[in-house]
Structure 1
Amino acid sequence: MTTSINNLANEIARQLALYTSEVAEKVEAIKEDVTKEAVTLLKEKSPKNTGDYAKSWAKKKVGKNIVIYNRKYQLTHLLEKGHVKREGGRVAAKIHIRPVEEMIVEEYVNRVERVLRQ
């Protein structure tokens, strides 16, 4: 395809728009995959007394973002950080969210960087 000098700017803009939309679609797919992985890992790594807490991990779209949450949200902070008992003393923390978060953030960044290098 030949392009005149007059149309060069338009052709560059068109190619950049195509590239941008392709990258945006791939990043959206990565976001979906990574959050699905995170929910699965949280279900596996969560403390299991009755199993309800571990089963309660879910994700939902909020605008352009995907939020991972636990339906029994009151427990997440208490389990992750530990807490004071009613009669004194402390319940030890059961750290399970932070390792999954760190791993998933790293995975997301790596996969997006791979897409941008292509």
Structure 2
Amino acid sequence: MASIDNFAKEIVKELERFSQYVAEEVEASAKSVSKKSVQKLKQTSPVGDYAGGGSYAKGWRVKKVGDNYTVHNATDYQLTHLLENGHVNRDGTRTPAYPHIKKVEQEAIREFERELNKL
């Protein structure tokens, strides 16, 4: 009977160790994908007078919030929606949209899924 109890304890110990390993790998993958996304956004973000003269593209950062990683623009966060979707000007004309966030988001989702499938 004692050997069965020891066997059960060993199984529980190994499952806890595996669970810890998976959690660490998911954390590392999330961090890696987030950092790559920031680099892609810095390269693909619009630059010009309408985008803060380049400060918008340089403003992308990764921030850890709880267990999650958030990619955000720290310098010109007000422009993200306006540049991604375009907007109406005061005179009624529309500015063109510069879609750059959605593409990187979709790539990040696919890459994160690939990383998780490797586990």
Structure 1 residue aligned with 2:108: 104
The percent identity for this pair of structures is 45
3-state SS, counterpart of residue 71 of structure 2: strand
Amino acid at match of 1:104: A
| Runs of 4+ more than 3 Å apart | none
Distance 1:18 1:59 in 2: 29
- In the superposition, the TM-score normalised over structure 1's length comes to 0.91
TM-score, with structure 2 as normaliser: 0.91
Is there any run of 5+ residues in structure 2 with no aligned partner, and where?
none
Q: CA RMSD in A?
A: 1.2
Corresponding residue pairs, total: 113
* Offset, 1:45: 0.5
Quote the Cα distance in structure 2 between the aligned partners of 1:54 and 1:94. 12
Q: Deviations over 1:27-52 (max 9, x none)?
A: 11111111000000000010011211
Structure 1 gaps of 5+ residues are none
Does residue 12 (structure 1) correspond to residue 16 (structure 2)? The answer is no
CA distance in 1, matches of 2:47, 2:114: 31
Letter in 1 for 2:80: T
Partner amino acid, structure 1, of 2:92: G
CA distance in structure 2 between the partners assigned to 1:93 and 1:66 by the alignment: 26
